């Protein structure tokens, strides 16, 4: 900050010197000339820090930046990666729950079965292009009413079509109530 004080002091001294010399000169033509010269000096003084900065950049000298503790940076990066992984797992788990709720809603629309369990398998490897995509579904239903059993195959085909899965990736099991 001492360079800033010196820079401002030099500008003030130059302006005061120019004003003093201007008072001593009687002629109007000389006053105008002196005002131009003092103005150029003041402009040069104002641009001095900018020219110093440009020269440093052209020289390619490195600016003095504070040193960063390498082990601290590594720890922050590691913590960030762990946090990202936890968030990714939470998002996948929430996605699984939402798919299970959708399937339960589809079953409720039929009105004949009760959902006992839904297993949703998704691609968990973030480096793969189909990350987060459904891989397979397993649905276990309980048939509560007497009469005709629902067609598990038909329901599996419906789910496969609904979620865009191959038919062999969806399994539906139907169990009788009480056993």
pLDDT in tens, 14-56: 888 877 877 777 777 777 777 788 788 878 888 887 887 788 7
Q: Is residue 65 scored above 60 in pLDDT?
A: no
CA 53 to each of CA 8, 42, 58, 62: distance values in angstroms, whole numbers, following the listed order: 17, 18, 9, 12
Return mean pLDDT, the chain.
80
pLDDT class for 141, splitting at 50, 70, 90?
confident
pLDDT class for 82, splitting at 50, 70, 90?
very high
pLDDT class for 90, splitting at 50, 70, 90?
very high
| 123 or 52, which is more confident | 123
Q: Which CATH superfamily is domain 71-176 in?
A: ANL, C-terminal domain (3.30.300.30)
Q: What contacts 160, CB < 8 A, 6 or more positions away?
A: 166, 167, 169, 170
């Amino acid at each position: 900050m001492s360079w800033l004080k010196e820079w401002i002091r030099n500008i003030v001294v130059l302006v005061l010197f120019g004003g003093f010399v201007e008072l001593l000169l009687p002629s109007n033509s000389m006053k105008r000339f002196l005002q131009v010269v003092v103005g150029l000096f003041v402009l040069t003084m104002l641009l001095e820090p900018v020219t110093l900065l440009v020269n440093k950049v052209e020289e390619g000298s490195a600016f003095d930046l504070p040193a960063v503790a390498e082990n601290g940076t590594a720890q922050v990066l590691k913590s960030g990666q762990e946090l990202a992984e936890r968030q990714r797992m939470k998002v996948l788990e929430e996605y699984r729950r939402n798919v299970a709720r959708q399937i339960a809603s589809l079953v409720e629309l039929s009105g004949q079965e009760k959902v006992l369990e839904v297993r949703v398998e998704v691609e968990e490897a973030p480096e793969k292009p189909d990350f987060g995509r459904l891989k397979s579904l397993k649905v276990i239903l309980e048939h509560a009413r007497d009469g005709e059993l629902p067609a598990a195959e038909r329901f599996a085909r419906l789910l496969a079509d609904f979620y865009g899965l191959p038919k062999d990736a969806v399994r539906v099991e139907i169990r009788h109530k009480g056993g």
